[in-house]
Structure 1
Amino acid sequence: MSQLHLDHRRGLLITGLGGLILSADIPLLRLGEGETWSTLLLRSGTTFVTAFLVWAVWSIATGRVRTIVPGRAGFLVAGLYGLASICFMIAVYNTETANLVFILAFNTVFSALLSWVFLKERPKNVTFVAMFFMLIGVGIIVREGLSSGHVFGDLVALLSTFILSTAITVSRSSGKDMGFAAIVGTVLPMLVAAYMVAQNGYTVAAPGWIIFNGSVVTTLAFLCLAAGPRFLSGPEVAMFYLLETVLTPIWVWLVFSERPTYPTLVGGVIIITSLVGHSLWQMYHSRRRIRMRALVRHPI
């Protein structure tokens, strides 16, 4: 088996694990029963401290100091992840969970468009078809948000998705491991949240859930998902955020008995169906390109 094929499988495993872990993020945030900025401060702070400890242990165990932020691209990625985290937290407290995760699934479309513009990876016709249907799905959800008073949260969720897709595209372009750079990005929301908490006070009823989320769930998910673009294309990495899209509403339904509205379910089904079909097609052709490159490098 070629090294390219092994790297691709490794990327699928790492990124898939990250997406699965990330699906617990929103339920844990809501279990904390805190206000927006206090929750963001506690979550970002525990994530940063835990990541620093992981980096220190890794460096001691391997005998070499691992680069935390690889160059200018690393600082850009860190900043983008920080901005995405701020927008995500605002959206958590200003829209329904189902609306949020379905809109976050738009990540794949943004990643494909940004790869086209900046990496010259023109989307195939099937990608444009998927984008068309996904726009319909997101439009249904946002329209429902207008009638239910969640339009601000829906738009902030869409902004978070775009920023996250930009971070994935920059990571893919650099070809460097951005796992720790994504964690360093938590410094920005931590500083912003600290300022807001100083102005308005600190309120988190059950901090244990947020600490567990920041120290375990968010840290592992960020490390896995941010490392994915080193082995996979942007749309492939974005596909694994689908696990959060599919699983999070289920966890919220089971824990909080919060059922998505009918328009949200319709829009979500359209988005997921389009994404799954497109992502399977993308993965098939990606593996095909890897096999072709392997044959060129190792002709019989």
Structure 2
Amino acid sequence: MSSHIDHQKGLLITAIGGLVLTFDIPLIRLADGSAWTILLLRTGTTFVAAMIIWAVWRSWSRNAPPLIPGWSGLAAAICYGLTSITFITAVYHTSTADLVFILAFNTVFCALLSWLFLKERPRAGTMIAMLAMIVGVLIIVGGSVGTGKLFGDFMALCSAFFVALAITISRASGKDMGFTSLVGVIFPLALAMVMVSGEGLQVNAPWWIIFNGAVIMPISFFCLAAGPKYISGPEVAMFYLLETVLAPIWVWLVFAEAPTRDSLIGGAILIVTLVAHSFWQLHEGRRRRAALAVGYPA
């Protein structure tokens, strides 16, 4: 009974995190500012919020996780910092649909990096899914040639890679890095401060990006980081797809930005592949647990 309640709790927490994250890009667009100003306000408010949460946690319990656990934590924090820079750059140089569809490619990078550095050879079903996702990304990128979005698509691909690298480092270290992604914003924050000092603050509606950094980012990151404690990896991955599906819809409703045909085709391949692969992993996991239960009866 307890495990069933924990599983439901995990589903609820992760669903909240995935849903809240879908508002990230629309809020960035609503703020209507320069890339460096948006990066400054987004990372600055996220960092302040993370420090407040950590300080309160530590005042109540000495078991609060470290902000940056050792050298591996520093490496992961740098990766998350680079993700913030490339992500904001991509927001300003490609469409929302292209961005979120390409970000979903981080699962392929995760599998490849785990294979190279953790010696976790992907199973046949995962290899097939990776090939299908590569085709989807190639269709999206191919449709951006000559449209001025190619650089933005490349930045989105870099974001996916840096996220995957941070996840791989975290898994290899086995350390609690719950706050590392939030603290890692200090690196792009420092860069943005230097850039903004020269050009000045350029933003028409700063409250949107302040709300994003102070509320949306901490809630989504915390919930998505807490989910794996209660539910499986494939289930968590499916909630990450909420941003892939819903963010382009919010932007289309607010800004009338419709995805291109190539973006829709490539994105559909990515989404269908991820959903099918997640269901396959869930089925395989249940089958293995059932086999273990038969082999080792209580």
Same fold (TM over 0.5): yes
CA 1:163 to 1:6, structure 2 compared with 1: closer, same or farther past 3 Å? farther
Quote the Cα distance in structure 1 between the aligned partners of 2:86 and 2:281. Answer: 28
The one-letter amino acid of 1:34's match is: G
Quote the Cα distance in structure 2 between the aligned partners of 1:259 and 1:36. Answer: 22
Identity %: 57
Quote the Cα distance in structure 2 between the aligned partners of 1:131 and 1:155. Answer: 18
CA 1:295 to 1:144, structure 2 compared with 1: closer, same or farther past 3 Å? same
Quote the Cα distance in structure 1 between the aligned partners of 2:122 and 2:186. Answer: 34
Task: List alignment gaps of at least 5 residues for structure 2.
Answer: none
**2:98 aligned residue:** 99
The one-letter amino acid of 1:223's match is: F
**2:215 aligned residue:** 216
Once the two structures are superposed, the pairs formed by residues 114-193 of structure 1 within 5 Å of their partners are: 114-193=113-192
Once the two structures are superposed, the pairs formed by residues 208-287 of structure 1 within 5 Å of their partners are: 208-227=207-226, 237-287=236-286
The one-letter amino acid of 2:265's match is: V
- Contact kept, 8 Å, 1:77 with 1:170, in 2: the verdict is yes
Deviation of residue 235 (structure 1)? 6.2
Quote the Cα distance in structure 2 between the aligned partners of 1:2 and 1:176. Answer: 26
- Contact kept, 8 Å, 2:7 with 2:230, in 1: the verdict is yes
Which shifted more, 54-63 or 104-113?
A: 54-63
**2:42 aligned residue:** 43
TM-score (norm 2): 0.90
- Deviation per CA, 1:192-243: give whole Å up to 9, x if none: 1111111222101100000100001011122233445666776665443211
- Contact kept, 8 Å, 2:19 with 2:243, in 1: the verdict is yes
Quote the Cα distance in structure 2 between the aligned partners of 1:184 and 1:243. Answer: 25
CA 1:51 to 1:287, structure 2 compared with 1: closer, same or farther past 3 Å? farther
The one-letter amino acid of 2:258's match is: R
- Contact kept, 8 Å, 1:115 with 1:234, in 2: the verdict is no
The one-letter amino acid of 1:91's match is: A
The one-letter amino acid of 2:191's match is: V
TM-score (norm 1): 0.90
CA 1:175 to 1:94, structure 2 compared with 1: closer, same or farther past 3 Å? same
- Deviation per CA, 1:131-167: give whole Å up to 9, x if none: 1111111111101111311000001100110110111
CA 1:131 to 1:209, structure 2 compared with 1: closer, same or farther past 3 Å? same
CA 1:126 to 1:242, structure 2 compared with 1: closer, same or farther past 3 Å? same
**Is 1:78 aligned with 2:74?**
no
- Contact kept, 8 Å, 1:137 with 1:271, in 2: the verdict is yes
- Contact kept, 8 Å, 1:106 with 1:161, in 2: the verdict is yes
The one-letter amino acid of 1:265's match is: L
For the residue of structure 1 that corresponds to 2:93, the secondary structure is: coil
Deviation of residue 69 (structure 1)? 1.9
**Is 1:207 aligned with 2:206?**
yes
- Contact kept, 8 Å, 1:23 with 1:248, in 2: the verdict is yes
Q: Size of the alignment, in residue pairs?
A: 298
Deviation of residue 118 (structure 1)? 2.0
- Contact kept, 8 Å, 1:15 with 1:224, in 2: the verdict is yes
- Contact kept, 8 Å, 2:89 with 2:152, in 1: the verdict is yes
- Deviation per CA, 1:67-115: give whole Å up to 9, x if none: 2222222222111111111100000000011000010111111112222
Task: List alignment gaps of at least 5 residues for structure 1.
Answer: none
Quote the Cα distance in structure 2 between the aligned partners of 1:174 and 1:6. Answer: 29
**1:21 aligned residue:** 20
Quote the Cα distance in structure 1 between the aligned partners of 2:29 and 2:115. Answer: 37
- Contact kept, 8 Å, 2:83 with 2:162, in 1: the verdict is yes
Deviation of residue 291 (structure 1)? 5.8
The one-letter amino acid of 2:246's match is: L
